[in-house]
Structure 1
Amino acid sequence: MQSYQEMTKEELCKEKESLEAAYKEWQKRGLSLNMARGKPSEEQLDLTMPMMDVLNSSADLHSEDGTDCRNYGGMDGIPEAKRFMAGMMGVNPENVLVYGNASLNIMYDTVSRSMTHGVMGSTPWCKLDKVKFLCPVPGYDRHFKVTEFFGIEMINIPMTAEGPDMDLVEQYVSEDAAVKGIWCVPKYSNPQGISYSDEVVKRFAALKPAAEDFRIFWDNAYVVHHLYEDDQDEILDILSECEKAGNPDMVYEFCSTSKISFAGGGVAALAASKANLEFIKKQFTVQTIGYDKVNQLRHVRYFKDMDGVKKQMMKQAAIMRPKFEMVEKVLSEELGGLEIGSWINPKGGYFICFESLEGCAKSIVAKAKEAGVTLTGAGAPFPYGKDPKDSVIRIAPSFPTMEDLKMAAEIFVVCVKLASVEKLLETK
């Protein structure tokens, strides 16, 4: 295909006319398709339905230490659940607290506690003149919403093919004591699908913060979410790397089964140093009398161990992989060679990140909406919803059926072409 960049004004006008006709045909169909969020499909959720029968009326509802899971107690999680979640994160069970169903809730609590009560005896953030967070971009919009909610200043850190720009991270962390944290999705990052290299993880562990209460918020959301059985990314364990580097207290790691079992009905956990956990447990005694131990037991009895989780995730991959590959195929066939966009084909996670020509993302998302396809809002993968280049669009292939997804992808590429032609014509 001829590059749009090389077309004359007359050629672009002719292409625009053809694209507008195709776009109007899609509009006439009155479709309502959604690729806005990384929700599991009904088919994925159905995989875990047998878990609902694990704890029947005759089941023993006591944990291995004798705790009656129907009753109060065991605030930091039953032993087998701590071991199970530790296995997912690749950490020691003694470094794990098991919560309710959502890791986002743990992250919110962790920021909130730091605001009101500080970090392990440090000054509460709410009493400081300025609190800043580093935000690798593009990144997870819900992370940014949490820090924005608490009035924390957010600083963009560009992502590279190996993770965040560590030269910038090291500079900010070492020079500015107001920098208290950084958001990270280290494996199959949201939305690019990038996994942090060993060098990046080691540089994180070796940070020399100006602030004693600086913490790495390590959201390992996609730790087992591979698309391929024989081609998987692996990352170093940040907790052990921090300990080796003499920074054992510098990281909070988060994880959940929300996209493994049931979204909204999973189990979430926090991993951190013993000193961090002792400080956090002081809040536990006030905040809760105990999380859902019945659900913890249900998960452990159903999956049993990491082998059970791996088998489950390969079943999920068999559903997800064709969707990703189909979207990638449409993008490649329709946009390859036109020089109007780029994307990464991830090995795992829940998203495909598309980067359009500068100044086109909002137009593409709006055009898609008018043609019946809902995408994540342009700008969402950036703090304050502001994409400096207006170019990043997050595509979420998981929820629609293959039929709906194919139509959505075809509409998307028409919108990309049309918005790109309009942008190029502005300078001709």
Structure 2
Amino acid sequence: MTSAATSPAVPLADLDTEALRTARDGFRAAYAELQAAGLKLDLTRGKPSSDQLDLSNDLLHLPDGEYRDAAGTDLRNYGGALGLPELRAIFADALRVPPAQLLALGNASLTIMHDTIVQALLHGVPGGNRPWGSGPISFIAPVPGYDRHFSIAERYGIRLIPVPLTDEGPDVEAVAALLATDDSIKGMWCVPVYSNPSGAVYSEEVVRALVSLPAAADFRLFWDNAYAVHHLSDDRPQPIDVLTLAAEAGNPDRPLVFASTSKVTFPGAGVAFVGGSPANVDWIVRNMAVQSIGPDKLNQLRHMRLLRDQAGLAAHMERHRAILEPKFAAVSEALTRRLAPYGAGVWTDPKGGYFVSLDVLDGSAKRAVQLAAEAGIAVTPAGATFPYGDDPRDANIRIAPTFPPLDELRTALDGLCTAILLAEAETLLAAR
């Protein structure tokens, strides 16, 4: 975390009541000017910008009349349930999943995660002796985390149990204690590289612990490696082979690896991947056999032609980085310039991914987001990064800087900071 207390100015919390009222009145005046500006800006979702989408426009005319894979198979027809082998090979290294154990499917990994949970609820998973849905079900949820993960669980009545997410991954001691005392726990959400929203990267020590902890044979790590290739600097983590570590620990079926090209090419027309142990892959393929007679292999061929190989994928992601790096720098600059002098907030400085996690004064996040919205700046709802939207501290705000143009982003960040300062001053005065 980057400390906001980098300025010699007196933090708001250290001001006497009269000085704090004066500061609040100044923030109110600045906020009134912000409202008068009539802004309509959006920092809510981590979407690629139009400039990023343009990087993949060749997909719109690829594959240039080609419709056969390297083996000569006509990809216009039924079949090929596992997906295009050449595309699976491109992503196998980044995801650390052998190509034979990596499936290329539809356009959304969230859909695969959803279907995996539904199949487990109805039929159970390899190693289990009954369907998950035959009894109470719980999932461990590292926080702050991804709201759409939580929504899947909430939709099917799966109880979510939050545990703290550190800079190196979930609090292993907390996870171990839960697994030892609660046999309803069947899964855990994981975003191991550039976690949403904090940007945390799981360490090998934490991963070894997660695959080794005593747990039921049908306990699964939902390993959502959504940002495995989404680097923002040259300081890049080494990919961790969770499948090999799990096999070495005697729990080969524990991880289910998910990923997609949603933030590599076109979110609405990409390719999703799922990988796992041979037993898990066989189980997934059997389940898919009654849903589909094969994925969109022509779209997969388009992606293979665009990216070509692992080096082509890396070069493509460098072009994304050139667009995104200045935006994340703008977040750091704005928070440091506007919040740091007042001791307001701590935030992450991610080396990749799509988000910045900002913690403001306890009890002021919802108010800050409300103020921002009323000034025309949409921000992800406070609490969205916690199960059931319940942040017990009311402190976390997720910033998604990727979508707006850089000038709009700077304006939105400046306005958000004004809202945060006013909310913090109000919260401190209310406690006096």
Q: Is the contact between residue 223 and residue 258 of structure 2 (CA under 8 Å) also seen in structure 1?
A: yes
1:259-316 deviation per Cα after TM superposition (whole angstroms, max 9, x unaligned): 0010111111101000111112111110101110001111111101111111111111
Tell whether 2:332 aligns with 1:328: yes
One of 227, 238, 246 as aligned partner of 1:222: 227
Residue 254 of structure 1 corresponds to 258
Residue 160 of structure 2 corresponds to 154
Q: Is the contact between residue 174 and residue 207 of structure 1 (CA under 8 Å) also seen in structure 2?
A: no
Residue 288 of structure 2 corresponds to 284
Tell whether 2:32 aligns with 1:24: yes
In structure 2, how many angstroms separate the alpha carbons of the residues matched to 1:207 and 1:271? Answer: 21
1:200-224 deviation per Cα after TM superposition (whole angstroms, max 9, x unaligned): 1111121210x22100000000000
Q: Is the contact between residue 96 and residue 240 of structure 2 (CA under 8 Å) also seen in structure 1?
A: no
Residue 68 of structure 2 corresponds to 62
Q: Residues 256-275 of structure 1: matches in 2 within 5 Å?
A: 256-275=260-279
Percent pairwise identity: 45
The Cα RMSD (Å) is 1.1
In structure 2, how many angstroms separate the alpha carbons of the residues matched to 1:234 and 1:348? Answer: 13
1:326-351 deviation per Cα after TM superposition (whole angstroms, max 9, x unaligned): 11101001111422210011100000
In structure 1, how many angstroms separate the alpha carbons of the residues matched to 2:28 and 2:178? Answer: 47
Q: Is the contact between residue 109 and residue 260 of structure 2 (CA under 8 Å) also seen in structure 1?
A: yes
Q: What amino acid maps onto 1:185 in structure 2? A: V
Unmatched 5+ residue regions in structure 1?
Answer: none
Q: Is the contact between residue 138 and residue 192 of structure 1 (CA under 8 Å) also seen in structure 2?
A: yes
One of 163, 184, 191 as aligned partner of 1:185: 191
One of 417, 426, 430 as aligned partner of 1:422: 426
The alignment partner of 2:267 has SS state of: coil
One of 324, 347, 350 as aligned partner of 2:351: 347
Residue 374 of structure 1 corresponds to 378
Tell whether 2:100 aligns with 1:91: no
Residue 214 of structure 2 corresponds to 208
Q: Residues 358-373 of structure 1: matches in 2 within 5 Å?
A: 358-373=362-377
Q: What amino acid maps onto 2:290 in structure 1? A: V
Residue 164 of structure 1 corresponds to 170
Tell whether 2:197 aligns with 1:195: no
In structure 2, how many angstroms separate the alpha carbons of the residues matched to 1:173 and 1:81? Answer: 37
Tell whether 2:396 aligns with 1:392: yes
In structure 1, how many angstroms separate the alpha carbons of the residues matched to 2:322 and 2:344? Answer: 31
Residue 143 of structure 1 corresponds to 149
Residue 122 of structure 1 corresponds to 129
Shift of 1:51: 2.8
Taking structure 1 as reference, are residues 235 and 87 closer, same or farther at Cα in structure 2, changes over 3 Å only? closer
Tell whether 2:48 aligns with 1:40: yes
The alignment partner of 2:351 has SS state of: coil
In structure 1, how many angstroms separate the alpha carbons of the residues matched to 2:414 and 2:238? Answer: 33
Normalised to the residue count of structure 1, the TM-score between the two structures is 0.97
Moved over 6 A (4+): none
Residue 88 of structure 2 corresponds to 82
Q: Is the contact between residue 215 and residue 252 of structure 1 (CA under 8 Å) also seen in structure 2?
A: yes
In structure 2, how many angstroms separate the alpha carbons of the residues matched to 1:420 and 1:153? Answer: 32
In structure 1, how many angstroms separate the alpha carbons of the residues matched to 2:256 and 2:285? Answer: 14
Residue 3 of structure 2 corresponds to none
Q: What amino acid maps onto 2:44 in structure 1? A: A
Normalised to the residue count of structure 2, the TM-score between the two structures is 0.96
In structure 2, how many angstroms separate the alpha carbons of the residues matched to 1:333 and 1:31? Answer: 21
Residue 238 of structure 2 corresponds to 234
In structure 2, how many angstroms separate the alpha carbons of the residues matched to 1:397 and 1:99? Answer: 29
In structure 2, how many angstroms separate the alpha carbons of the residues matched to 1:76 and 1:107? Answer: 16
In structure 2, how many angstroms separate the alpha carbons of the residues matched to 1:75 and 1:84? Answer: 18
1:165-219 deviation per Cα after TM superposition (whole angstroms, max 9, x unaligned): 000111212332211000000000000001011111111121210x221000000
The alignment partner of 1:56 has SS state of: coil
One of 313, 319, 322 as aligned partner of 1:309: 313
Q: Is the contact between residue 184 and residue 216 of structure 1 (CA under 8 Å) also seen in structure 2?
A: yes
Unmatched 5+ residue regions in structure 2?
Answer: 1-8
Q: Is the contact between residue 95 and residue 239 of structure 2 (CA under 8 Å) also seen in structure 1?
A: no
